[in-house]
Every structure is written in structure tokens, then in C-alpha cells.
Structure 1
Amino acid sequence: MELQVTTLEGKSAGKVTLDDAVFGLEPRADLIQRMVRYQLLKRMSGTHDVKNRAEVAQTGKKFGRQKGGGGARHGSRRSNIFRGGGRAFGPTPRSHAIELPKKVRALALKHALSAKAKAGDLVIIDQATAEAPKTAALRAIFGKLGFSNALIIGGTELDTNFALAARNIPQIDVLPAQGINVYDILRREKLVLTKDALAALEGRFQ
């Protein structure tokens, strides 16, 4: 598969040939879904917590006599059946992360890239640089290129001015090549790769 390379000024900068082993697969929704679930569960903090009967601030003294009270034989007020008592079977801090084999994760990324290529939402630019960290100027450039909702992947090192200018533009994400992931690819309409990012990606899967 061949794609036209463009510059940020909208000019042609030649063509590139995409590796069919990375960008030419038939997308599998099940693999992509598994990877998105893996990412979302892994980033959950898991800090939800409630107080059980050992943690609430209530007396542990037996509040009634064992017999002759006309009711049940209760002990502590910390019991979950009383107002102000501890909660039974409530959430405790834990990790929500699930396991997913490394090969499956790599394959899911290939399928996400192939899905963007098949849909025509993959754009290759020669480089992602800016002369100055000016958000207004970069927003105007993106408007001409049609990047209203896009994920831009640079090389191993991002251009500082470009990253600073892009970070305040809504629905525009900028990541280095090693930060590319399935969830961020899917949450943006267009995937924009620099030539350096394309080389890094294809080299990563060889």
C-alpha cells in the first residue's frame, strides 16, 4: 500500500510504501476490544474503599443483656445491621488489571493501525515541527489540513515547540512513537504519523 506524504504546509513530499504485515491486515474487532479493555482496566486506580466493622468509630461494648431483653442477643454496635455500623462486603483497594499476552497486545496494535489505514484515516507527514510554540498558528495549520480530531505520532523525540503549541488544542493528542497505543488510536478520528514514527513502528514489528 502506498500513501502520499504531505508537509504541514499542505505540499507533497513524495510517497511511502506501508508494510502490509502492519497496515494491511483485515481488522479484528475482538482483538482490538480485548486490548482496549486491558488498557482501561490497567489504568483504573482501584482505591475505592469502605469501612468494615473493624474500622468504624463505634463502641465494641455489649449494649444489652444476653437474656431477658425481649430481643435478639446483640454485641457490638459496629455490626453492619446497625445505623453507623460497618459495611458488609464493601469494596476494598485492589488492582483491576487483567493479563493479556504480549503477542496479543502487539497484534491488537497492528489491527488498530490496519483499521485506520483501511478506513482512509491514516495520514503521513514528513515531520511534526514548529518554529515557535504558538497555538493559534498551529491551529490554523491543522484547520487547513483537516485535523480537527487527530492523534499525531512523532519520532522518538517530540519537537518541543510543536508539543507545546498542540497541547492546548481540543481533540488533538501528540505522542512519541513509543507511546502509541490502541485506545488513543481509536478515540481520535485521524491517525497522523511522521516519517520517523512510521519507520519506528515498522522496525518495532520486524
Structure 2
Amino acid sequence: MPKLPVYNMSGEQVDEMELSDRVFAASVRPDLMHDVVLMYLAGQRRGTHKVKGRSEVSGGGRKPWRQKGTGRARQGSIRAPQWKGGGVVFGPKPRDYHYRLPKKVRRLALYSALSTKVGEGKVVLLDQLSVPNIKTKHMVTLLQKFDLNRVLVVDAEREEDVMLSARNLQGVKYVGANGVNVYDLLHYDHVVLTKDAVLKVQEVFA
């Protein structure tokens, strides 16, 4: 089992914690992480893109010239796709890009992402995470103690005061344990976990 030091908010080591092998020391599967990241990004697409087809553009109700006798190619409408201002052929329409991979694949990818961060030494454990009041400087001070910039902060449950103190910081994201995902774990350089968050992740995802 991997064992990591546990720090308080002053940056002092106060304990050590053993992590689950299944969640934090799993074999790394880059292929599964790639698939899950693609699924996540597909789910973020709004899918509201739209172009007008031949039946939707204005005009073109009259046949531009008679069928025969002019020497020109036959045309039925000036809004056919080959005309300037005509409809678009096979253009994008509003659609839902969301899809879901099997639960087992998503779990294995999450284990891989967490294990990667632990293996790279980019996980910081805190005994607890709290702020006396809603001030961004409290989070700035905490991150400076550990020399962290781009960081994902994970707590067992999202605390309103901590969330409001962290939301204005560029490169910092604060989530509850249930909101941990592969994309965020790979996107941010470091991960800060509370002890309760570790227990919650191991309980929920293992």
C-alpha cells in the first residue's frame, strides 16, 4: 500500500496515511484514460451548431428559367446548393454528443489517473480543509505553503466557504469527492486531498 504524509494547513506533517492499492496503486491504462477524456469532452459540447438547408433558406420559389430551349443547364431554384446563397448540403444540425462508456471502464480509468498522480508524487494530503471566513487569501496562503499552482482540491463534501474562497483563483478547482473525474486529474498538475476525501473516494469508487 502506498503511504503518504498528512499535513495540516500550516504545512507541517502531522500523520501518515495508507492508501488503497486498488484505487491509488493500480496499473496505469493510458488507453482507458484517453477514452474517458474523449467521453468527458464530448459531453461538454453544447451541440447547438446549425446551418440552413435548401428548404430553410429564403427565396428560390420560382424556377429561374424554363426547362428547355435556353442552352443553359436546367435549374429548379436559385437556392439549390450549387448557387451562391443556396442551402448547405449535409451541414451540422443540433445534436447531443453525449455518450457513456461502461462503468467498469470509467472506474479503471479513474484508478489509473489517481495512481499516476501518486506515482509522480503530485498528491498532497491534508488532515482537514477549512477557512475562518470567505477570503481568497486563505487559499492563496495554503497553496503557497506547498508551492502549488495548477491544482485540483478535493474535499469529502463541497464546503461553501472554501468554494467561495477558491473560485477566483486561476488554475485552481475545488470539488467534492463525488465530483472527481479523469479529465480534471490529468488537467491539473497537483491534487490536494483531505483525509476524509481519500476515505470517501475509496468508499465510493472501490
- TM surpasses 0.5: yes
Q: Does the aligned pair in 1 maintain the 2:6–2:14 contact within 8 Å?
A: yes
Please give the residue correspondences for 1:131-142 in structure 2 after superposition, counting only pairs within 5 Å.
131-142=132-143
Number of matched pairs: 205
Q: Are 1:164 and 2:151 counterparts?
A: no
Runs of 5+ unmatched residues, structure 2? none
Shift of 1:95: 2.0
Alignment-derived partner of residue 66 in structure 1: 67
Q: Distance in 2 between matches of 1:147 and 1:61?
A: 67
Q: Distance in 1 between matches of 2:106 and 2:71?
A: 63
Matched AA of 2:29: R
Identify if the C-alpha distance between structure 1 residues 38 and 25 changes in structure 2 by more than 3 Å, giving closer, same or farther: same
Alignment-derived partner of residue 11 in structure 1: 12
Shift of 1:189: 0.6
Q: Are 1:111 and 2:121 counterparts?
A: no
Alignment-derived partner of residue 102 in structure 2: 101
Alignment-derived partner of residue 128 in structure 2: 127
Residues 44-83 of structure 1: CA deviation (Å, up to 9, x unaligned): 1111111000000113111211111110111111201111
Alignment-derived partner of residue 197 in structure 1: 197
Runs of 5+ unmatched residues, structure 1? none
Alignment-derived partner of residue 178 in structure 2: 178
Alignment-derived partner of residue 81 in structure 2: 80
Q: Does the aligned pair in 2 maintain the 1:130–1:159 contact within 8 Å?
A: no
Shift of 1:97: 2.7
Q: Equivalent pairs: percent with the same residue?
A: 39
| Larger deviation, residues 132-141 vs 14-23 | 132-141
Matched AA of 1:185: L
Q: Does the aligned pair in 2 maintain the 1:133–1:164 contact within 8 Å?
A: yes
Q: Distance in 2 between matches of 1:127 and 1:18?
A: 17
Shift of 1:180: 0.5
Q: Give me the TM-score of the superposition, normalised by structure 1.
A: 0.95
Shift of 1:138: 2.3
Aligned to 1:84, what secondary structure does the other structure show?
Answer: coil
Alignment-derived partner of residue 42 in structure 1: 43
Aligned to 1:95, what secondary structure does the other structure show?
Answer: coil
Q: Distance in 2 between matches of 1:138 and 1:102?
A: 34
Shift of 1:96: 2.1
Q: Distance in 1 between matches of 2:160 and 2:43?
A: 29
Shift of 1:136: 2.1
Q: Distance in 1 between matches of 2:142 and 2:177?
A: 22
Q: Are 1:26 and 2:27 counterparts?
A: yes
Matched AA of 1:172: V
Q: Distance in 2 between matches of 1:204 and 1:119?
A: 24
Q: Distance in 2 between matches of 1:135 and 1:99?
A: 36
Q: Distance in 2 between matches of 1:39 and 1:106?
A: 14
Structure 1 segments of 4 or more deviating over 4 A? none
Aligned to 2:124, what secondary structure does the other structure show?
Answer: strand
Q: Does the aligned pair in 2 maintain the 1:59–1:78 contact within 8 Å?
A: yes
Q: Does the aligned pair in 1 maintain the 2:131–2:138 contact within 8 Å?
A: no
Q: Distance in 2 between matches of 1:23 and 1:195?
A: 14
Q: Distance in 2 between matches of 1:52 and 1:120?
A: 54
